Amino acid sequence: MTPLRTIMTRDLVTASKDASLKEVAALMADNDIGNVLFMDGDKLVGILTDRDIVVRAVAFGRDSGSLAVDHATADPFSLDVETDITAAAAQMGERQIRRLPVTENGKVVGIVSLGDLSNRANGDADQTALEGISTPTL
């Protein structure tokens, strides 16, 4: 068993719930990342990805000054740091998510992306997740 803690990225970028789309996009650009987390204290309340900005905001002509959190996935799915990467990959595929917040004792301590699975995991975990994410839902 290889736990998520061994492949997760520990450097998390968070944004205020009153941050605009433009501010969050700039955070992503400045940090060379594809997601930003929204927190309420230690509780994860949302995640916004670069894809969300395009699909949920730009595609509908939303103003870049609008609240970024309004376009985020609320109460995102997460897994514990001790979860096996193969099980995590299966969950990511089933839920069609590309970024997975990782928790320890209920607190977000890292994030695992599809790229992390591909670059750092051994075995077929990345293929399992990719197949699930790439399969269209009906």
Unique residue bearing structure tokens 């609320």: 74
Domain 4-134 -> CATH class: alpha beta
Judged against a pLDDT cut of 60, whether residue 126 lies above it is answered with no
Percent of the chain residues past pLDDT 70, beyond the cut: 86
pLDDT, position 125:
53
- Its pTM stands at 0.84
pLDDT, position 117:
86
The CA distance from 94 to 1, in Å, is 20
Strand order in the sheet with 107-113: 79-80, 99-104, 107-113
20-30 per-position pLDDT tens digit: 999 999 999 99
Across 29-38, 43-52, 101-110, 114-123, least confident range: 114-123
